[in-house]
Structures are given as C-alpha cells and as structure tokens.
Amino acid sequence: MDIAHLIQTVAIYALPVIFAITLHEAAHGYAARHFGDNTAWMMGRVTLNPMRHIDPMGTILMPLILYFATSGTFLFGYAKPVPVRFDKLRNPKRDMVWVALAGPAANFVQALAWGAGLYLLQALGVNEVFFLKVCQGGLLVNVVMFAFNLFPLPPLDGGRILVGLLPHRQAELVSRVEPFGFFIVMGLVVIGVISTLWMHPVMELTFGLLNVLLMPLAFLLGFS
C-alpha cells in the first residue's frame, strides 16, 4: 500500500467528506424540527459541528480498513444517524418523506456548490492541482452520497421516502425490512448489484442534471 497516495487521498477528500456528512445529518435534524420533532435539536444534533455527527467506527475506522483491504477499490462509511421520532411529526407519514429527503437534498446542493467552485477557480486562472482536486472530490463525494442514500430500502433515506409514499399496507410491509436493511444493503453492495443497477445510472443522471443547472454559470464564465 502506497502511504503517500493514502495521505494525498485523505488530504483531498477529508474536507468534502466532513462537509457532506455534517450537512446531510444536520439537514435531517432541521427538517424533523421544522415538522414537529425536537429530538435531534434537544440532543444538540442540529449543528454544523462535525464532531457531533462523526461515528468513530463508521466514519473513520471502517473506511480506513476497507481502503487497505481492497487497495482503495471499495470504500464505505457512515455518520452517526440523527435521532428522529417519526411519531412526533405533525403528519408522520407525509412528513417522514421530507425529513428523509432533506439529507440527500443537502448533498445535491453541496455537489452543485462544489461544481460552481470548480468553474470559478478555473475562470480565475487557479491552476493549483490540489484545490481543483478538492472541488472534484467534493462533487463526487456528494453525488455518491446522494445516489446511495436514495436507494429504496430502509434504513436508507430512499427506503424511508418509499415507506412515506406507499399506501399504509404496502408501507408497513416495506418498513418491516428495516431491522435487516443494513445487512441486505451491504450484501447487495458486495455482490455489485447496487453499483451496477442503482449507483451508476442514478449518478449519471445526477451529473447530467448538475451540468444543466451549472450551464448558466459556465456560459457567464466563458466555458461554453
């Protein structure tokens, strides 16, 4: 394992990853508070302090172990989930959708911001590779988080959105998967199903949408 390459990778992705997970989790907490559940707010989780959202195992140890074990070909990690009492929401079934969607939405907005930052650096003539790589890393990290979290299986955000949108009977059946959902998702990741059938097409569509939204800025800066 090339230690120098590891240090370079960590340096490039550290800031984007910290922002991505912090704003993702804080957005869940803020949305929950907006719709009537103060649990996360009272526990100090509606904050931009990354230390409140970092999980030592999921955010630091697991990604490092996977990086070394797979020579950097497969990475996975998670933040400390924001506690949400769906029964405390004013309209639990409907508001669950908005609370779940808030996290991926925060990642999409961040991806848009990193993309805009990349255009601005290039327009200003900044040729420092590190800064350009950080912006590219921020764009990639947030698109990955956006796509992965929208996978329609609880406890991922996409699963919660699906439960909120389905009729009560079907929603109850899907929600029963949640205790085993993490292990099912991990199994699907390992055998490549999520990567092939979900991540690649959703990420491609997301990058396409981001390009469309960034077109006006690119035009103003003379890139098109």
Return per-residue pLDDT of the chain as tens, 224 residues. 567 777 888 888 889 988 998 999 999 999 999 999 999 888 888 888 888 888 877 777 766 666 666 555 555 667 788 888 988 999 999 999 999 999 999 999 999 999 999 999 999 998 889 999 999 999 999 999 999 999 999 989 999 999 999 999 999 999 999 899 888 988 888 888 888 899 999 999 999 999 999 999 999 998 86
Q: What is the pLDDT of residue 165?
A: 95
- Could you give the residue numbers annotated as active site? 25
Q: What is the pLDDT of residue 59?
A: 74
Helix axes 92-123, 157-165, angle to 10 degrees: 140
**pTM more than 0.85:** yes
The residue extents of the domains of the chain are 3-220
Q: What is the pLDDT of residue 224?
A: 63
Q: What is the pLDDT of residue 72?
A: 55
* Token pair belonging to 1: 């394992």
Three-state secondary structure along the chain? CCHHHHHHHHHHHHHHHHHHHHHHHHHHHHHHHHCCCCHHHHCCCCCCCHHHCCCHHHHHHHHHHHHHHCCCCCCCCCCCCCCCCHHHCCCHHHHHHHHHHHHHHHHHHHHHHHHHHHHHHHHCCCCCHHHHHHHHHHHHHHHHHHHHHCCCCCCCHHHHHHHHHCCHHHHHHHHCCHHHHHHHHHHHHHCCHHHHHHHHHHHHHHHHHHHHHHHHHHHHCCCC
